[in-house]
């Protein structure tokens, strides 16, 4: 630390210089986060000092958290869902497995996850000392439900399905998983961290939420397609009792029990998430998702004209291609199977897609010269 403080001017010129080193979202096609909506930023600033870790001090903010859970519950076909605002999909997934472990009390617990599961499940299983049983994907990059039946045994505490996979944008056969969960009295957790704020706004999306009786919990992140500020995730459970399996006593706080993983928790992203939902409404969200899906389809069509087929038709705005190269100046990523992966987030406008396709064309021309 400095011995003596510096002037505000020099401090902020230093901070601005550091910020200018950030890539931001310019030509970034790999991120599942995006620029927050202006109302998200405004609401975030208004609630900057709030701490949901001590909700009795911030009753208004705590009521916004309850509203956020109710709004998402309603969207996911269960208006009375329980839940809380997490720091994102990772925390929600860890907590879902923690709940499963407490519920089942198996001696050598295992959890059955799809090959496509996000790496947060590796973390969760490591932290909780739970065996992670990985089930392969089928040709459509969806969890192979027949293999789920084989993987489940008496020590299985939960099955995980993903609605909107990180790498291929597909949806696991949640309806079948729900039947298995009901049949075998298992907890089914749906990781809809990405798809939870996409699929409800696409007509004809297959069911993945609490409308299915076996679905016990869902991760859904407003800081991804909900255009909120970071960090805004949510864990929803079908009932309070399940959520409170994680409850501990918090004797020195204004409330005496907490079921959350973090202690101190920011209220600002919660206000920001609610702000976007209320400002845009269902039709506004639908329009944003429709734009992202249109851009995804344009990207797929364009890539195919250059001879780079999409690995699978995605259900959400994530597309993966058999394409070995990457044009310079663009940030993309690769799936574990080596496909080029692009997420058409709201900051990836149509002109960005056209510029990328042009760059792909130039890359191709360079190869044949």
Q: Which residues bind ligand PLP (CB under 6 A)?
A: 32, 88-90, 93, 118, 120, 162, 166, 191, 193-194, 221, 233
Please, what is the minimum distance in Å from the beta carbon of residue 79 to ligand PLP?
Answer: 24
Please, what is the minimum distance in Å from the beta carbon of residue 87 to ligand PLP?
Answer: 7
CA 315 – CA 169 distance, rounded (Å)? 6
Q: Find tokens 């400095």 and name the residue.
A: 2
Residue 361: strand, helix, or coil: helix
Between the two ends of the chain, the Cα-to-Cα distance in Å is 56
Please, what is the minimum distance in Å from the beta carbon of residue 85 to ligand PLP?
Answer: 12
Q: Which is nearer to ligand PLP, 289 or 357 (CB)?
A: 289
**Cβ pair 187, 158 in contact under 8 A:** yes
Please, what is the minimum distance in Å from the beta carbon of residue 274 to ligand PLP?
Answer: 18
**Cβ pair 257, 246 in contact under 8 A:** no
- Return the closest-CA partner of residue 259 out of 244, 239, 240: 244
Both tokens of 79, joined, read 């208006």
Q: Which is nearer to ligand PLP, 98 or 118 (CB)?
A: 118
Please, what is the minimum distance in Å from the beta carbon of residue 101 to ligand PLP?
Answer: 19
CA 20 – CA 146 distance, rounded (Å)? 50
| Nearby residues of 333 by Cβ (< 8 Å), 6 or more positions away | 30, 341
Q: Find tokens 């406008």 and name the residue.
A: 349
Q: Which is nearer to ligand PLP, 90 or 237 (CB)?
A: 90
Q: Which is nearer to ligand PLP, 158 or 357 (CB)?
A: 158
Q: Which is nearer to ligand PLP, 173 or 327 (CB)?
A: 173
CA 364 – CA 369 distance, rounded (Å)? 9
Please, what is the minimum distance in Å from the beta carbon of residue 34 to ligand PLP?
Answer: 12
Q: Which is nearer to ligand PLP, 55 or 233 (CB)?
A: 233
Q: Find tokens 């030509």 and name the residue.
A: 27
CB neighbours (10 Å) of residue 134? 17
Q: Which is nearer to ligand PLP, 141 or 360 (CB)?
A: 141
Please, what is the minimum distance in Å from the beta carbon of residue 92 to ligand PLP?
Answer: 8
What is the greatest pairwise CA distance in the chain? 72
Q: Which is nearer to ligand PLP, 92 or 295 (CB)?
A: 92
- Return the closest-CA partner of residue 33 out of 102, 99, 88: 88
Both tokens of 317, joined, read 């705005």
**Cβ pair 37, 276 in contact under 8 A:** yes
Please, what is the minimum distance in Å from the beta carbon of residue 172 to ligand PLP?
Answer: 11
Please, what is the minimum distance in Å from the beta carbon of residue 119 to ligand PLP?
Answer: 8
Both tokens of 365, joined, read 């021309």
CA 146 – CA 164 distance, rounded (Å)? 20
**Cβ pair 176, 213 in contact under 8 A:** no
- Return the closest-CA partner of residue 113 out of 185, 186, 169: 186
Q: Which is nearer to ligand PLP, 196 or 214 (CB)?
A: 196
């Amino acid at each position: 630390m400095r011995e003596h403080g510096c002037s505000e001017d020099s401090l902020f010129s230093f901070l601005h210089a550091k910020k200018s080193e950030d890539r931001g979202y310019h030509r970034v096609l790999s991120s599942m986060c995006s620029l927050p909506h202006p109302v998200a930023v405004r609401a975030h600033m208004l609630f900057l000092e709030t701490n949901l870790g001590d909700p009795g001090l911030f009753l208004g903010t705590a009521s916004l958290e309850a509203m956020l859970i109710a709004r998402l519950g309603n969207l996911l076909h269960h208006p009375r869902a329980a839940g809380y605002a997490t720091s994102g999909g990772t925390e929600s997934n860890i907590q879902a497995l923690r709940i499963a472990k407490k519920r089942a009390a198996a001696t050598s617990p295992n959890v059955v996850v799809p090959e496509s599961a996000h790496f947060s499940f590796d973390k969760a299983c490591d932290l909780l000392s739970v065996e992670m049983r990985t089930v392969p994907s089928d040709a459509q990059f969806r969890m192979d439900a027949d293999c789920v039946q084989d993987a489940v045994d008496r020590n299985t505490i939960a099955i995980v399905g993903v609605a909107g996979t990180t790498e291929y944008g597909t949806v696991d056969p949640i309806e079948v998983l729900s039947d298995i969960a009901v049949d075998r009295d298992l907890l089914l957790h749906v990781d809809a961290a990405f798809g939870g704020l996409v699929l409800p706004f696409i007509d004809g999306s297959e069911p993945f939420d609490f409308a299915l009786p076996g679905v016990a919990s869902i991760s859904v992140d407003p800081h991804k397609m909900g255009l909120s500020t970071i960090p805004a995730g949510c864990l929803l459970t079908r009932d309070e009792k399940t959520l409170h399996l994680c409850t501990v006593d918090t004797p020195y706080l204004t409330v005496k029990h907490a079921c959350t993983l973090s202690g101190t928790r920011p209220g600002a992203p919660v206000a920001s998430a609610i702000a976007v939902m209320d400002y845009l409404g269902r039709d506004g969200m639908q329009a944003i998702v429709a734009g992202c899906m249109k851009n995804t389809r344009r990207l797929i069509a364009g890539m195919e004209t250059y001879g780079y087929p999409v690995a699978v038709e995605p259900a959400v705005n994530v597309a993966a291609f058999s394409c070995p190269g990457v044009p310079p100046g663009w940030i993309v990523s690769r799936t574990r199977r080596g496909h080029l992966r692009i997420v058409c987030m709201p900051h990836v406008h149509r002109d960005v897609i056209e510029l990328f396709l042009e760059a792909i064309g130039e890359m191709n021309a360079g190869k044949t010269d």
